[in-house]
Amino acid sequence: MARGFVIPIGGAEEKFRDPAILKRFVDLCGGRAARIAIIPTASRLVSTGPRYRRIFEGLGVATAAVVPFFDREDCTQERWLAELRLATGVFLTGGNQLRLSTTLGGTPAIRLLRHRNHDDGLHIAGTSAGAAILSEHMIAYGDEGGTPHAAMVTLAPGLGFTERAIIDQHFRQRDRLGRLLTALAYNPSKIGIGLDEDTAAFIDADEMLTVRGSGAITVVDPTEVSYTSMDSANPNDPVSVLGVRLHVLAAGGRFDLRGLKAFPPERG
């Protein structure tokens, strides 16, 4: 089977009035036959998992199960791994992405999810912290602002569902262009994806990204960067980055992560 979709969401997605992003996710996962596994690990609120379960049940899925991976031992339990084997879609909630990486990283649960996403067509979505961790290199935390600074961002290993991008969330609302540029200055081989709130990138098996939601996605392409001063900058110094290409894509816009080309929404 083709690889399943990887779907980072910028946080604060509409859940009730017109939940277009969550509806699209459910449709991909089978609609009324969908089996959604909800992983609330990033959140400290015990209400987060049950809340999303009610939301997905309200969208008419066959089952929505909360998988309580709250410590690394949980990630080895057969009863919870069985839920992941049955799922047609997995949803990672928001919260703290470091809680996700330190709890799930390297466990049987994540090995199973990567296998099922790449080889079994399982769709993986995450919102806010759950979006940030989908990439191979994850922004753990950083400062706000539009100008990159050498010490502006801290990177950590993500879960590796996409190796082509570094993802940032709440992008326009929290003024995070500078920290995404800083992350890319460290490694200009990746594409930056800055997700506004209530906005999602639906990335298919051919690495085509399609925008859904009420905001926009800022795509930062550093692959033709000719110079950065990252190697010589002091921690609080601004960093020069020359040759960056930037695209802003609203709903229906697309970006080919392989061919590095942006497309407007299709007509009609």
> Is-contact 216 250, C-beta < 8 A?
yes
φ, ψ dihedrals at 127, nearest 5°: -115, 140
Residue 268 belongs to a domain:
no
Residue 163 lies in a domain: yes
Q: What CATH number does the domain containing 119 carry?
A: 3.40.50.880
Task: Evaluate whether residue 260 is within a structural domain.
Answer: no
Per-residue confidence in pLDDT tens, the chain, 268 aa = 799 999 999 999 999 999 999 999 999 999 999 999 999 999 999 999 999 999 999 999 999 999 999 999 999 999 999 999 999 999 999 999 999 999 999 999 999 999 999 999 999 999 999 999 999 999 999 999 999 999 999 999 999 999 999 999 999 999 999 999 999 999 899 999 999 999 999 999 999 999 999 999 999 999 999 999 999 999 999 999 999 999 999 999 999 999 999 999 998 7
Q: Which two tokens stand for residue 233?
A: 């900058």
Residue 173 domain flag: yes
Q: Residue 258: inside a domain, yes or no?
A: no
Residue 87 near residue 35, CB atoms below 8 Å: yes
Tell me the catalytic residues: 128, 170, 197
H or E stretch including 24?
helix 20-28
- Is residue 38 in a domain? yes
Residue 264, domain member (yes or no):
no
Domain with 195, as residue range(s), is 6-252
- For residue 134 the two structure tokens come to 């989908």
Is 265 within a domain? no
Alpha carbons 217 and 246: distance in angstroms, whole number: 10
Q: How far apart are CA 258 and CA 19, in angstroms?
A: 30
| Number of domains the chain contains | 1
